[in-house]
Chains A and B, each alone.
Chain A
Amino acid sequence: MSSIPTSAEAMGAAHEAPALLALHALSVHFAGVPVVDAVSLAVRAGECLGVVGESGAGKSLTFLAALGLAPSAAAVSGRARFGATELIGCTERALDALRGRHIGLVFQDPMGALTPHLRIGAQLTEPILRHTGCSRRAARARALELLEQVRLAAPARCLQQYPHELSGGMRQRVLLAIALSCDPQLLILDEPTTALDVTIQAQILALLAHIKRERRLGLVLVTHDFAALAGLADRVAVMRAGRVIETGSAAQVFHAPRERYTRELLQAAREPAVPGGAPAARGAGAPVLAVEDLTVRYRQRGARRRRGEIVALQAVTVAIAPGESLAVVGESGCGKSTLTRAALRLVGAAHGRIAWLGREVGAWPERRLRALRRDLQLIFQDPLSSLDPRLSVERLVGEPLEIHHGELDAQARATRVAAMLERVGLDPALATRRPHELSGGQCQRVGIARAMILAPRLLVCDEPLSALDVRAQRQIGALLEALRREQGMSVLWVSHDLGAVRRGCERVLVLYQGAMAELAPSEALFSRPLHPYTRALLAAVPVADPDVQPGRLAQVRLTDGEPPPAGGCAFRTRCPQATARCTEQRPPWIEAGAGRWVACHHFERGADGMLRG
């Protein structure tokens, strides 16, 4: 067939099916600088092409440009064929007849991808009405059916809701439903799981595997994480700095990568983000941070004056010894950040006891806390927005010294700042830049330098890696771990990803809906998790191995039940081991071995439900 582009042959197509989408020498320039450089790729019906590469590699831009969605400043050249249609240089009207109809797209950033003022129902029926010309009623019925297919828990209610009323995972399902609404032949997904919790990520990936099987459509999956591709991609293309540097079947790229860069990416996806190592010298003395029975309630203001209280944190008791690293893990909304903020006395409405460095500070006024604060530092999830955009890197890092060490003169401060910048691996040339001129990883290093310059006793890291790509994650994880060991400080590490903290932390606290589910030394937790929720979190961690990952995805439940009414175990609607007792009684927090605590009636049973010795 003449419509098969040569690039498809060049890729050594195993099956002879014609390419659905074939890019040939596609380039994108911004002001003469190439950011996508002669990319040739092809995807066939029923096949999943994984495109992987670091942030800024040009992955997103490649497909945006092919579909006429690149920013207006971009100069696009080369060819992109969809079936018999040449997409580059084709009119907007002709593209509109394909986009949403034959080609479905889902972009990075589920939080911002839905129009805020339109109900989900309106946004979902829109492409159906436009492309199929069916009646409003039929479109609505179809919308409902689609939401069921993407396993949304309450589809009818969802149609009436606005985007801001949905969680990230729900929005991603809606976007998927919109992309699937007109039965496209090709589905392009750009980082469909990056902003999501591991558990939700696993569900979306499993759902994609299901859709791919059922519908036999062509699938392009763009991601920075090899692990996300493992269960899905049939073929993989690796991009770096605007070029495709390696392509091949999934088995080939995963098991026998040719390029060194590919091996690095694979290794990054296989190792936990926070490296392990000898535990830091354990200092003696009182815990640097201890909370007892810490409870936080937020007043809730519903749409129709449905006033109520949310218990964001429920009776949490935990202590961090000097030099220890503790991970707090759980999915979004489980109270991780509330715990850190309440423990650092940054939210007012906390009940329970809080001790810093052995001193009971729960009732202290802020004025008195100030002097202690420099020993307890915090770094944030979103590096860019946590830094003042008007200040230079130098000023940002030096600012805590100005506040807490007034005795230092400008010269001494500058020396310390320079040393700190070097320590966190920031080029001294960056010192005069402002935050928006830095990459995400560099911003996060500035945040770390700012926290570390006071040599704190405790560093609280609230999801410091989730805004970064895999390689930057590894680098920052390693940096924090090295700093911890050098300085003998304690680290409280907050993450939604159990896999990320696998080796790096000595103990792990698992939170579920504000309450403690399990607390254990990390060795024990990973080798023999006791709480069913911990097991679910572990099962959700994607594995960068195409032989193992499909089996893991097949185990994932595609959706969660609605949260149960109060009383009993909060996890029971999601728990495979739930019994009648779980509905009647709240499981107590009990000691289940040396240093191990768990809140589950049936913790002695394994995942198989059998009683263990």
Chain B
Amino acid sequence: MLGYALRRIAGIVPVLLILLTVSFFVIRLAPGGPFAAARALSARTRAELRQRYGLDRPLAVQYAAYLRALAHGDLGRSYSLRDEPVAGLIGAGLPVSAELGAAALALGALSGIALGMAAVLRRGGVIDRALAPLAAVTLALPSFVIGPLLALIVGVWLRWLPVAGWQPDTPRDLVLPAITLALPLIASIARLTRASLLEVLNASYIRTARARGLGRARVLWRHALRPALVPVVSYLGPAATYLVTGSLVVESVFELPGTGRYLVMGAIDRDYTLVMGMVLVYGTLTLLANLGADLLHAWLDPRVRHEAP
């Protein structure tokens, strides 16, 4: 299992390299370029700037330089944000974004699984019946609607939590954004858990476990839950992708100083170094999430573990 995990982690590196290479060329081939939008610049200043950032050199040379710098941990400097080193921007923003993502994921997984189980335990009960409409609403409403709505109810009317903004070391600021981000996840995971658990409970081995007189609780927790979580775990990959795009919106709605805004900013300003930095961060996170899903799957099912090449 450990060897399998290490090999999988090593496997991430080439994928990431391909991702970076493709992004590197694609953003440069796209129309427009840095400083093109800033009309106030004279042609001379623009040329000077291009020269300073090495953008006048052939693409292959730029690429080689980028790789060389990357190998030394240097992600370059942002063109648009006053020459800030991209690594520094990430260092400041990532903790906020990562905390938000992790909180949303944990919230989504735990309450989704709990709700799904509750729905199965009381078939036709309140939770069971509420699940489908809840899913419809949370999946249909975009987070820039859910977010302000929650902020309005909880922050403005009830005054339980701050409406927006961020002070370091105040986890309270994260509660609303995390819930906003997690709501669609909760709904999807609850429905997945419900369907999968219902199927597992019909399995022959569940009948055998009941025939051993183990009691309802033990049959559920020990025999049914783990196999039922397999589809939920497979959903972690897509969920990670959702978290990345979702956090862009949620961060801007709640004015969180995360990394999401850099991705938007970088894309609009054609700030190549910034975009590459963001591709590196979000690419790594997505790949890690997929890896985590596979490892969890292997843990859940010994057959996968034994087949693992």
Docked CA distance A303–B227 (Å): 21
Q: Hey, which chain A residues are within 8 Å of B206, CB to CB?
A: 115
Q: Is B43 an interface residue (CB 8 A)?
A: no
The answer to whether residues A96 and B205 also contact, given A116-B303, A164-B303, A303-B306 and a CB cut-off of 8 A, is no
Which chain A residues (102-153) contact chain B, with CB distance < 8 Å? Answer: 105, 107-109, 112-118, 126-127, 130-131
Q: Is A366 an interface residue (CB 8 A)?
A: no
**Which of B129-137, B211-219, B277-285 lies at the binding interface?**
B211-219
Beta-carbon contact of B208 and A113 below 8 Å: yes
Beta-carbon contact of A130 and B204 below 8 Å: no
Q: Hey, which chain B residues are within 8 Å of A95, CB to CB?
A: 213
Q: Hey, which chain A residues are within 8 Å of B19, CB to CB?
A: none
Beta-carbon contact of B204 and A117 below 8 Å: no
Q: Is B114 an interface residue (CB 8 A)?
A: no
Q: Hey, which chain B residues are within 8 Å of A557, CB to CB?
A: none
Q: Hey, which chain A residues are within 8 Å of B202, CB to CB?
A: 71
Beta-carbon contact of B208 and A107 below 8 Å: yes
Beta-carbon contact of A99 and B213 below 8 Å: yes
Q: Map CB proximity to B onto A159-181 as digits: 1 under 8 Å, 0 otherwise.
A: 00010110000000001001000
Q: Is B39 an interface residue (CB 8 A)?
A: no
Q: Hey, which chain A residues are within 8 Å of B210, CB to CB?
A: 69, 99
Docked CA distance A454–B52 (Å): 76
Q: Hey, which chain B residues are within 8 Å of A116, CB to CB?
A: 205, 227, 301-303
The answer to whether residues A112 and B204 also contact, given A117-B226, A117-B301, A303-B306 and a CB cut-off of 8 A, is yes
Question: What distance in Å separates the Cβ of A381 from its nearest Cβ neighbour in chain B?
Answer: 19
Beta-carbon contact of A127 and B302 below 8 Å: no
Question: What distance in Å separates the Cβ of A131 from its nearest Cβ neighbour in chain B?
Answer: 7
Docked CA distance A386–B203 (Å): 22
Question: What distance in Å separates the Cβ of A409 from its nearest Cβ neighbour in chain B?
Answer: 44
Docked CA distance A164–B302 (Å): 8
Q: Map CB proximity to B onto A212-235 as digits: 1 under 8 Å, 0 otherwise.
A: 000000000000000000000000
Which chain A residues (34-64) contact chain B, with CB distance < 8 Å? Answer: 64
Q: Is B209 an interface residue (CB 8 A)?
A: yes
Considering the complex, give the chain B residue whose CB is closest to the CB of A97.
Answer: B213
Interface of B is mostly: helix
Q: Is A92 an interface residue (CB 8 A)?
A: yes
Beta-carbon contact of B214 and A117 below 8 Å: no
- Between B210, B213, B223, B301, the greatest number of chain A beta carbons within 10 A of the residue's beta carbon is seen for B213
The answer to whether residues A126 and B208 also contact, given A112-B203, A116-B301, A162-B302 and a CB cut-off of 8 A, is no
The answer to whether residues A117 and B211 also contact, given A112-B203, A112-B204, A112-B205 and a CB cut-off of 8 A, is no
Beta-carbon contact of B306 and A164 below 8 Å: yes
Q: Is B309 an interface residue (CB 8 A)?
A: yes
Q: Is A301 an interface residue (CB 8 A)?
A: yes
Beta-carbon contact of A109 and B204 below 8 Å: yes
Partner of A113, one of B204, B301, B303: B204
Q: Hey, which chain B residues are within 8 Å of A127, CB to CB?
A: 212-214
Question: What distance in Å separates the Cβ of B178 from its nearest Cβ neighbour in chain A?
Answer: 31
Q: Hey, which chain A residues are within 8 Å of B203, CB to CB?
A: 112
Beta-carbon contact of A96 and B215 below 8 Å: yes
Q: Is A98 an interface residue (CB 8 A)?
A: yes
Q: Is A529 an interface residue (CB 8 A)?
A: no
Q: Hey, which chain B residues are within 8 Å of A131, CB to CB?
A: 213
Q: Is A100 an interface residue (CB 8 A)?
A: yes
Which chain B residues (258-289) contact chain A, with CB distance < 8 Å? Answer: none
Q: Is A67 an interface residue (CB 8 A)?
A: yes
The answer to whether residues A99 and B212 also contact, given A116-B301, A164-B303 and a CB cut-off of 8 A, is yes
Beta-carbon contact of A107 and B214 below 8 Å: no
Considering the complex, give the chain A residue whose CB is closest to the CB of B202.
Answer: A71
Q: Hey, which chain B residues are within 8 Å of A108, CB to CB?
A: 204
Q: Hey, which chain A residues are within 8 Å of B303, CB to CB?
A: 116, 162, 164
The answer to whether residues A100 and B207 also contact, given A116-B302, A118-B223, A162-B302 and a CB cut-off of 8 A, is no
Beta-carbon contact of A107 and B216 below 8 Å: no
Question: What distance in Å separates the Cβ of B7 from its nearest Cβ neighbour in chain A?
Answer: 11
Q: Map CB proximity to A onto B209-238 as digits: 1 under 8 Å, 0 otherwise.
A: 111111110100011001100000000000
The answer to whether residues A130 and B215 also contact, given A115-B205, A115-B209 and a CB cut-off of 8 A, is yes
Considering the complex, give the chain A residue whose CB is closest to the CB of B299.
Answer: A117
Considering the complex, give the chain A residue whose CB is closest to the CB of B216.
Answer: A92
Q: Hey, which chain B residues are within 8 Å of A601, CB to CB?
A: none
Docked CA distance A136–B307 (Å): 31
Question: What distance in Å separates the Cβ of B210 from its nearest Cβ neighbour in chain A?
Answer: 6
Beta-carbon contact of A107 and B204 below 8 Å: yes
Docked CA distance A391–B300 (Å): 35
Q: Hey, which chain B residues are within 8 Å of A101, CB to CB?
A: 213
Residues of B near any A CB (own CB < 8 A): 202-216, 218, 222-223, 226-227, 300-303, 306-307, 309
16 A–B contacts from the bound complex (CB under 8 Å): A95-B213, A100-B214, A105-B208, A107-B211, A109-B204, A113-B208, A115-B209, A115-B222, A115-B227, A116-B302, A117-B226, A126-B214, A127-B214, A130-B218, A175-B208, A178-B212
Closest 4 CB pairs of A and B: A100-B213, A100-B212, A99-B213, A112-B204
Other contacts beyond A99-B210, A107-B208: 20, CB < 8 A:
A92-B216, A95-B213, A96-B215, A99-B211, A105-B211, A107-B204, A113-B205, A115-B205, A116-B227, A116-B301, A117-B226, A127-B213, A130-B212, A130-B213, A130-B214, A131-B213, A165-B306, A178-B208, A178-B212, A301-B307
